[in-house]
Amino acid sequence: YARAVFKYKGGARQQSFFVDLKDVPTQLPIPKSASRIKEGASKYAGVTFHKQMNKWYANIMIEGKPYSIGSYDNEEEAAVDYARAVFKCKGG
């Protein structure tokens, strides 16, 4: 049964993990370099916009695995939480 569901669903799905930001102090957003900013994209590292959901998402890669930080109504909130996740993971 599991193999049939696996085949029906289209194979392996990328697993996403969540980052816990409790007890992490507020950090300043991390801006992208000017050459990496494209029209309509976020000006902050680790932040993307999902058009269908009309939300900003913060994501981080840790040891090659994607971690979801959360979804936000504005870009700056997502950027601040991304900076907090970097602070937590890098040992700031």
Could you give the count of Cα atoms lying within 13 Å of 35 in the half-sphere of its Cβ?
0
Burial label, 21 (beta-carbon count in 10 A; 0-12, 13-18, 19+): middle
Q: pLDDT (tens digit, 9 = 90+) per residue, 34-43?
A: 776 676 688 8
Task: Look at the chain and count its residues.
Answer: 92
pTM over 0.75: no
The pLDDT of residue 37: 67
Rounded to whole angstroms, the Cα distance separating 21 from 87 reads 10
Judge contact between 27 and 83, C-beta under 8 A.
yes
Task: Report H helices in 1-92.
Answer: 2-8, 75-90
| Of 8-12, 32-36, 44-48, 56-60, minimum mean pLDDT range | 8-12
